[in-house]
Amino acid sequence: MAVAGIDIGSLTADVVILRDGEIISDVIIPTGSNSRAAADRALEAALEQASLKMEDLDYIVATGYGRANVSRAHKCVTEITCHGRGAHYLDPSVRTVIDIGGQDSKVIRLNERGEVQDFAMNDKCAAGTGRFLEVMAHALEVDLSEMASISERASRSAPISSMCTVFAESEVVSLIAQGVPREEIISGLHEAIAGRTAGMVFRVGLEKEVMMTGGVAKNRGVVKSLEKKLQCKIIVPPEPQIIGALGAALLAREELERSR
């Protein structure tokens, strides 16, 4: 029995294929301007990686903001449910999931069965998301992947007063002009993201254990800052970007078992 989960986000299209409950393939590609085409490309790449053909898949569940554009999906499910299910599969002790993706962020509280009990979501602007960090990296003329290591050199954090991407970029440019070291600015950005995210966590209700998913979870600087704000250790999966797709694949397996 082979099933697939497809997570179409604003920046990446992610696919996970499960066979007999085990992950046999996972793919992450840029979404680009056409989410339907990205879904097809990602699924084809995942099938090739698993040495499978389309007809070998018994069920497909799509999630993410572009889930309605996945023509091959048998069912669409919200990313809140999928991230919760994926996190619970990796670690059943997890009760709080923090997902920071390309254009939105969310905090999900789970019960012992991995079911969603409550959640908070910021989907109105890119503040504190992957896109926010991309814009700041460009303003600072540093590589996005190097921001965490650069921030580790900071002896202090430059205060960032605005989380609006437009205003924060202007603030960063002003700090650079004032001669503030880049590492201090980046550290301040990480602190600002952590503060905003922690506020969402406390609104939902912090329960341990805590797992962080999404592309921003790869930024150790943000994770460390958030650990300080929450005063607890945060679990980061080996590949945090595929958790939504993993959850979708697990739901696909459940749907298939129910239908049989």
Q: For residue 126, what pLDDT is reported?
A: 74
Whether 68 is in a domain gets the answer yes
pLDDT at 21: 86
Determine, yes or no, domain membership for 119. yes
Q: What pLDDT shows up at residue 54?
A: 96
Domain count, the chain: 1
Q: Tell me the residue range of the domain where 12 lies.
A: 2-124+196-259
- Residues of the chain with confidence (pLDDT) below 70: 123-124
Residue 216 carries which DSSP code?
A: G
Q: Give pLDDT, residue 102.
A: 86
- 155 inside domain: no
Q: Are 213 and 97 in contact (CB under 8 A)?
A: yes
CATH number of the domain encompassing residue 34 = 3.30.420.40
pLDDT at residue 260, rounded to an integer: 75
Residue 124's pLDDT is what?
Answer: 66
According to DSSP, the residues that pair with 3 across neighbouring strands are 18, 59
Backbone torsions φ then ψ of 124, nearest 5 degrees: -90, -25
Q: What pLDDT does residue 123 have?
A: 64
Say how far residue 197 (Cα) sits from the centre of its chain. Answer: 13
User: Within a domain: residue 51?
Assistant: yes
CA angle, residues 73, 75, 79, in degrees to nearest 5: 100
Q: Residue 165 has what pLDDT?
A: 87
Domain contains 143: no
Helices (H), 91-154: 130-140, 147-151
Domain-located, residue 134 = no
Bridge pairing between strands 210-213 and 96-100: parallel
The strand order across the sheet containing 12-19 reads 22-30, 12-19, 2-8, 59-63, 75-76
The answer as to whether 40 is a domain residue is yes
Examine residue 185 and state whether it is found in any structural domain, yes or no. no
